[in-house]
Structure 1
Amino acid sequence: MLNQALFKRLYADADDDGPRVSGDEPSEVFAPVINTHKAAKHNGGVAALSGKGTAVSEWCAS
């Protein structure tokens, strides 16, 4: 139920290591939070400001 509130779609893939989530489409309500988390993860734990790494508004959910 929680995944249904956070995401419109989750894309699953499987390989030799087993199943995994390969992509997602966040719901409109949670998209800013999820994109901020992804940007911070990509930038070593810091949600970057524009011009300094990957800005949150520029980060694609993939």
Structure 2
Amino acid sequence: MRIEGVTFVEHAVCSMTKADFIKMHMSVVWQNRSEVDRKKMLSDAYDFIKKKGTEVESDSELNG
């Protein structure tokens, strides 16, 4: 999934905790933004990817 020019591997993100995800990416992505903004963006990205993953699992259970 591509968010603000950064590609995240969804299954890798889903296997991480939010804290680990943020810690791993804080010093790597969106360096032109403040630390507060990066943390918020990473938190939002994590939540979005996890929610999408949950919806896909729910859809497959309904259709399976």
TM-score surpassing 0.5?
A: no
Q: What's the TM-score, normalizing by structure 2? A: 0.29
* Larger RCO, structures 1/2 (Cα 8 Å, 6+ apart): 2
Choose between structure 1 and 2: higher helix proportion: 2
Q: What's the TM-score, normalizing by structure 1? A: 0.30
